[in-house]
Amino acid sequence: MKAMISLEINGEVHEVAVAPHATLLQVLREDLALLGAKKGCDTGGCGCCTVMMDGEAVYSCMVFAMTAPGKKITTIEGLQQNGKLDPLQEAFIETGAVQCGYCTCGMILAAKSHLSSHPSPSDQEIRQAIAGNLCRCTGYQKIVDAIRLVSVGR
């Protein structure tokens, strides 16, 4: 049976009717047309569905939507401020850290979450921060370059 819940996504409150098994990823993509979070493995192994909940990176394919009320959810659509891309998004463009693009939104949100508590990560820490995100195009180096570009003092 579906139930009405309210979700705070990118600062906006949405009322949605969700089934008991519905994941946050399904609600984002299918009910709210927020298509930044991608469906990849759908079992928490690839990272392309990564969003932030209360600032922490999570696999939205594993979050039951019913558990998300009361959390502040941030998707890639919510990173821009007044039409201006987040510096991390700009860094991905500047370093060419995108090829097919399927992993990119998850990569950026995993990195964004890590940088918020660790603003000056070493390259090793950057690699650990994105260890839960797979990229099959870039070989990761340009992604690490992009994240380093916005790391404070590096």
Partner 1 sequence: MPLSEVKEFFVPQEAGEVAALLARFGNRAVVLAGGTFLHGLAARGLLHGVDAFIYLGKAGLSYVKQVDGVLAVGAMTTFTELGSAEPVRNLPALGAIKDALQYPPAQIRNMATVGGCVASASPLFDLPVAFLALDGTVKALGPKGEREIALRKFYLDYFEHALEKNEFLTQVRLPKAAARSASAFLKLDTNANDLALLNVGVCVTLDASGNCRDVRVALGGGIGKIPVRAAACEAVLNGQRPTRERVSESAQVVSSDIHTVSDHRASAQYRTAAARVLVKRALGRALSRLGVEVN
Residue 96: which residues within 8 A CB-CB, separation 6 or more?
142
| 12, 20, 80, 96: residue in contact with partner 1 (rule CB under 8 A) | 20
Query: What is the nearest approach in angstroms of partner 1 to the Cβ of residue 28?
Result: 15
Q: Which of 57/76 has CB closer to partner 1?
A: 57
State whether residue 131 is helix, strand or coil.
coil
Task: Answer yes or no whether residue 122 interacts with partner 1 by CB under 8 A.
Answer: no
| 14, 30, 31, 44: residue in contact with partner 1 (rule CB under 8 A) | 44
Query: What is the nearest approach in angstroms of partner 1 to the Cβ of residue 42?
Result: 7
| 125, 131, 141, 154: residue in contact with partner 1 (rule CB under 8 A) | 131
| 8, 42, 86, 94: residue in contact with partner 1 (rule CB under 8 A) | 42
Beta bridge partners of 3: 18
Q: How far is CA 80 from CA 84, 133, 141, in A?
A: 5, 22, 24
Q: Which of 12/54 has CB closer to partner 1?
A: 54
Task: Answer yes or no whether residue 110 interacts with partner 1 by CB under 8 A.
Answer: yes
C-beta of residue 25 within 8 angstroms of C-beta of residue 64: no
CA distance 104 to 101: 5
DSSP string, 63-127: SBGGG-TTSEEE-GGGS-BTTB--HHHHHHHHHT--SS-TTHHHHHHHHHHHHHH-SS--HHHHH
Query: What is the nearest approach in angstroms of partner 1 to the Cβ of residue 14?
Result: 18
Residue numbers at the binding site for partner 1 (CB under 8 A): 1, 3, 19-21, 23, 42-45, 47, 50, 53, 56-59, 61-64, 66-67, 110, 113-114, 128-129, 131-133
